[in-house]
Every structure is written in C-alpha cells, then in structure tokens.
Amino acid sequence: MADNETPPETPETGTEGTKPEIPAEVKQALRKANKEAETLRLKLKEIEDAEKSEMQKLQDSIAERDQQLAELPKAIRTQAIKFASTASSMGFLDPEDALVFVGDVDLADGDAVKAALEELAQRKPHLVRTDGGPRVPSRPRPKDGAPASSAVGSEATTGKARAALALRQLSNK
C-alpha cells in the first residue's frame, strides 16, 4: 500500500521530501474501507458472473427453440404424409377430408391415428371406398342412335336440352 513508499528525492535540493504523518485512526479506517471495497468488488463480480451464466442459459434456450422451430415444418410435412398414406391405405377417398374430420389426434402416434380413422370410417362411411378399388367416375354410354349428350343420368342435361331431345326422338319415329 501507500505506507511503505518513500517520497522521491528532488533534484534541486538532493534531500528527501517530508511527508506529513497520517494518524493511525485514519490509516485503520482506510484499511477497513479498502477491505470492504475489495469484498464488495468480489461480490459484484460473483453477481455479474451469475447473471452472465443465467444470461447464457437463456441464450442457449433460445437457440434450442429456434432450432426446433426450424425443424417444425419438416416434421409437420412428414406427419401429414404419413397420415395421408395411412388414410389412403384404409380406403379413404380424400385424406384431406379425413384429416379435417379426424379431430384432435397426435399425428405422430400411428396407433392413435389408425384408431381415429377407423372410428371416422364408422361414423362417416361415405368418406371411404366401398369396393376397395379406386373410384374413377365414368360417363354413362349413350344408347344406340342417340347423341352422346342424350345419355341417361347425364348431369349436363338441362330442362331445355331434355325437351329438345324428346322432340328429336319423336321426329325420328
């Protein structure tokens, strides 16, 4: 500390400078204050280190969540594909419809998905294929001599078209 230092010699006189004597009580108070200051500096450093480690923990947690969020779209796509595959293999005509009606099911749990799809097939059988094969809508074949638009059950046939068809058939007889 400053107690052991000797004053420098002055070049003009060559003698040592005199230093006023500090009372012992002041020295003792100064030592005590320096000790307290050192203790407080150490405590402050500990607190700052604890805050840094807490801050580091939070930053690591944020980085981990960012990584999970980045992987989320891939996981969702994978689950949707697995669901669509399961729904198609169980005979559902449109896997998207099955997904809408299946409700709140964990898509990652294959057994829960199958159970929900089986329950949906019982509840809404019109969503499931009945013959086991793919349904390809086919157009009814026209009767002999009738134009293709005169097919029975054709949705394109309107009231006016039916009347015109009836007139043609009468004139052909």
Residue 39 has a pLDDT of 95
Amino acid at 52: K
Q: What per-residue confidence (pLDDT) applies to 163?
A: 82
DSSP 8-state class, residue 140: P
21-71: pLDDT as tens digits: 888 888 888 899 999 999 999 999 888 888 878 888 889 899 999 999 999
> What pLDDT does 161 receive?
81
Q: Say what the pLDDT of residue 169 is.
A: 80
pTM: 0.42
Task: In whole angstroms, give the CA distance from residue 54 to residue 47.
Answer: 10
Mean pLDDT in each 10-residue stretch from start to end of the chain (173 residues)?
Answer: 54 60 86 93 88 85 93 90 89 86 84 90 87 59 58 59 81 73
Q: Taking all residues of the chain, what is their mean pLDDT, rounded to a whole number?
A: 79
Of 156, 141, 150, nearest to 172 by C-alpha is 150
Give the single-character DSSP code of 153: T
Q: CA triplet 68, 70, 72: central angle to 5 degrees? A: 70
How much is the pLDDT for 146? 56
